Amino acid sequence: MAKKLWGGRFDKETDPLVEKFTRSIQFDHKLAWYDVFGSLFHVDILTQSRYLTQAESTSLADELLKIGKEIQEGVFKEDPNCEDIHTNIQNILENKLGEVALKLHMARSRNDQVVFATKMYCKNTMKNLQTNIEELVLSIDKLLVENDGIIMPGFTHMQHAQPVYLKDYLGTYKKMLLRDAARLEYISINMKITMGAGALAGTPISSEEYSKNVNKIIEELQKNPDWEETSKFMKDFKVESTTNSLDAVSDRDFVIEIISALAIVAMHLSRLSEDLIIWSTQEFDFVEIDEAFCTGSSLMPQKKNPDVLELVRGYAGRLNGNLVSVLTMMKGLPLTYNRDMQLDKEPLFNSFEIVSMELRVLAGLIKTLKFNEPKIEEYLKDESLYATDLVYYLVDRKVPFKQAHTIIGELIKYSITSGKKIKEMSGEKIKEFSDSLNKEEIIKLFDPKKSVESKLSIKR
């Protein structure tokens, strides 16, 4: 049984099943590096407040940096018997340094520690995710340039609507991703990382001490070549003293905001996937997905399936579930810290992991898409795609819009029921629908390029 951070008031050993049930090390080991960072800050504060001598401070900081290096190098192995990663790191320090390590927990509680480490993890992971988003945006950009002139049928309700540029259609996903990036950035900037809450009521160390000393360590670490790379993300990183210690330990808004922003990213990626799944069907045949991004069937030898895209679509459900689970977990909690809150981490980590993986796999898939231009052009022969342009034509000839809408509606209906294209009808027949319809002129409107270029409201 691993040593606990508590126990003085207990006579009995904890039930083994309770040990297992309450443990979070199996997932919060991901916070190890951030916990070490928090401890380095704390050592600094205790030293400035004279709870630690300079010598004690140095030995604690050295040992913490050693653990941090092991974590960075991937050789740190968490102890699965510890209650959580915070206990694990404290136990290592106690085993290595003995009594001096017992002083480290002065004026701190895991309630504050866990928030600090989780916020730091979020800040770093959101920064990495921004890079993943940028990569996907770049690969969409490449696709847009390669397929610059392609015009395709635009859809509403999945029905033929009006011609649009393929670059505008796919550019929509770029816009969504840029909004996602901005949303994450906003959350990151607004997430205040604080120290000094203690368990809930604050600590005997003054807020001035926290504010004064807490950021020094960042500068020191940035000067240390071993940590230069890893502490880069801390350039704009700022720790503040808490202004409401109860709020500091009981707030999980940042988790909810992040997993909701991630659920939005996943929803966007799911829509993109759905479009590509439909476009890659034999029925549509707009696009070919590269074999490297498809899988086959164990029974039907001819199959080349878009499983990657289907999983992206499927995972969007998981992301929603993660959000709902944390919202539901939080809604009934009285202030301040309650153990329920330990359960915010798996949904948070899981949402980050899924979205990061999706962004990376889609960046590769998108880059290799091949559009079937002749097939897309084939669909543009559908005259109904230009019905709105015919309405605008009549409006330009002083026919009121609603009347023009009805006239063209009747013309299209006749075309469908008679099985005759408008192009095949005689000029006289067309005039029966409206005197203002001149066949020579209107057939020129069945032109994809003319149609898209006549839409002047788009600022390109």
Binding stretches for ligand ARG (CB under 6 A)? 24, 28, 84, 110-111, 114, 337, 339, 341-342
Q: What are phi and psi of 328, to 5 degrees?
A: -70, -40
CB < 8 Å & 24+ apart, contacts of 268-271: 268/173, 268/176, 268/177, 268/180, 269/312, 269/316, 269/355, 269/358, 269/359, 269/362, 270/312, 270/313, 270/315, 270/316, 271/173
For residues 359 and 369, what is the distance between their CA atoms, to the nearest angstrom? 16
Minimal distance, residue 272 CB to ligand ARG, in Å? 35
* Residue 439 CB partners (closer than 8 Å, separation 6+): 425, 426, 427, 430
Task: Decide if 157 is catalytic.
Answer: yes
Which CB sits closer to ligand ARG, 84 or 209? Answer: 84
Which CB sits closer to ligand ARG, 135 or 346? Answer: 346
* Residue 368 CB partners (closer than 8 Å, separation 6+): 289, 290, 292, 293
Q: 154: closest CA among 141, 170, 132?
A: 170
CB 393 within 8 A of CB 309: no
Minimal distance, residue 24 CB to ligand ARG, in Å? 4
Which CB sits closer to ligand ARG, 88 or 260? Answer: 88
Indicate the pairing of strand 239-241 with strand 193-195: parallel
Minimal distance, residue 38 CB to ligand ARG, in Å? 12
Tokens of 12: 């009995």
Task: Decide if 160 is catalytic.
Answer: no
Which CB sits closer to ligand ARG, 162 or 342? Answer: 342
Minimal distance, residue 122 CB to ligand ARG, in Å? 14
Minimal distance, residue 175 CB to ligand ARG, in Å? 37
Which CB sits closer to ligand ARG, 23 or 123? Answer: 23
User: Which residues belong to the active site?
Assistant: 157, 297
